[in-house]
Every structure is written in structure tokens, then in C-alpha cells.
């Protein structure tokens, strides 16, 4: 698997683009250079390579499902636990991830399939679901952003 290609796949939350090349994703989504992507990781070991997990929130983060955590270093990371999506993610360890729709719009399969380099399709097809919750864990408190 080439981690620099853009993959279209059903994630554990919604249909998304995944790649380790954030420049390609920014071009596809016409996104501002200052706005960062969520990073999906395959394990807590991989998570520790991106950020330090505050001791105060370790238990909360381990138990969180379909939740993206914004850490004190302002990186947004999500540990994937859904087995189907995890099977894909284990092959590349981590990936920047974003929804596969034009900014502010709903899922459009024509747009998504045109922009992706590789389509990963299973028998269930693509299904736009509710995006992950986003929780910001600061040094003192945590709060829900989405």
C-alpha cells in the first residue's frame, strides 16, 4: 500500500478520504493551509508518536469510541477501534482523514470517486453516517467541540 495515495473508504464514522499526504487532501478539499486534518491511528502505540497523552485523561481516551481528541499540542487524533476500518489502517499505521464531500456539502459519490486515487469498496457500500465527536483535552479541563 502506498501511503501517499488518496484512498476513499468507509471509515468507522463516515465515508472519508485517507492519505499520509496532507497536501493532496488540502487540494481535493480546497482547504486553507492553516487548517489541520484529523489523524487516524491504528493503535495507542502509534498515538504516542504524535503526542503526549495527559495522565489525567488516559482512561477517558482509552474508553472513547468514535471520538477525536484534540490534545494540548493542538493535534487532533482518533484511535480507530472498528475492526473493518482498522484492518485497512493497520497496513499504513496512520493517515490524515477527512470527509469525502465538498466543504459544507453532503456526501456526493461522483465527487468522491473522481477525486480519490484508490477506491476501497466492500459489500456494504458507502454510507454517510454521523461524524466523530471532537473533544478538546486541555491541561486543566476538557470540552466538546462537535
pLDDT digits (tens, 9 = 90+) for 39-57: 999 899 998 999 988 888 8
Helix (H) or strand (E) holding 17: strand 15-19
Tell me the domain boundaries of the chain: 7-144
Residue 137 near residue 71 (C-beta atoms within 8 A): yes
pLDDT at 96: 93
pLDDT at 68: 92
Average pLDDT in the chain: 86
- Cell 491541561 locates to 139
3-state helix, strand, coil in the chain (%, to 5): 25, 25, 50
pTM score, whole prediction: 0.86
- Domain 7-144 fold is DHBP synthase (3.90.870)
pLDDT at 131: 79
Segments of the chain with pLDDT less than 50: none
Amino acid at each position: 500500500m502506498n501511503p501517499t495515495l488518496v484512498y476513499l473508504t468507509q471509515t468507522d464514522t463516515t465515508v472519508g478520504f485517507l492519505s499520509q499526504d496532507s497536501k493532496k487532501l488540502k487540494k481535493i478539499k480546497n482547504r486553507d493551509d492553516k487548517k489541520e486534518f484529523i489523524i487516524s491511528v491504528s493503535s495507542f502505540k502509534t498515538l504516542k508518536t504524535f503526542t503526549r497523552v495527559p495522565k489525567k485523561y488516559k482512561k477517558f481516551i482509552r474508553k472513547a469510541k468514535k471520538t477525536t481528541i484534540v490534545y494540548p499540542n493542538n493535534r487532533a487524533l482518533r484511535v480507530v477501534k472498528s475492526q473493518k476500518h482498522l484492518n485497512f489502517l493497520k497496513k499504513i499505521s496512520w493517515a490524515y482523514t477527512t470527509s469525502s464531500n465538498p466543504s459544507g456539502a453532503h456526501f456526493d459519490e461522483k465527487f468522491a470517486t473522481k477525486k480519490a486515487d484508490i477506491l476501497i469498496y466492500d459489500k456494504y457500500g458507502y454510507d454517510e453516517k454521523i461524524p466523530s465527536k471532537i473533544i478538546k483535552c486541555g491541561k486543566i479541563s476538557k470540552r466538546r467541540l462537535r
